[in-house]
């Protein structure tokens, strides 16, 4: 298991954090990112996923994340 931090950003401000989420690997973060995006209503929100070392591995706008096909498994990032 690996641990990742999930943050919701609005502008430069972190408005929500979920720390140390255990996942099998970084690809397993995508369903959670999509689920988080579906709950966000404020415009301009982004979702950032970080490794324990603090490196950003995913940074995506909520609107773009909502367009990913959640039912088909882990999408391949561009």
Residues 49 and 58 sit within 8 Å (Cβ to Cβ)? yes
pTM of the model: 0.83
pLDDT tens for 25-50 read 999 999 999 999 999 988 899 999 99
Residue with tokens 């709950």: 39
- Report the mean per-residue pLDDT for the chain: 88
C-beta of residue 56 within 8 angstroms of C-beta of residue 48? yes
């Amino acid at each position: 298991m690996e641990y990742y931090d999930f943050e919701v950003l609005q502008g430069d401000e972190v408005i929500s954090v979920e720390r140390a989420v255990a996942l099998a690997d970084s690809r397993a973060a995508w369903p959670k990112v999509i689920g988080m995006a579906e709950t966000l209503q404020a415009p301009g929100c982004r979702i950032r996923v970080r490794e324990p070392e603090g490196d950003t591995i995913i940074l995506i706008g909520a609107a773009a994340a909502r367009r990913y096909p959640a039912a088909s498994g882990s999408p391949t990032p561009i």
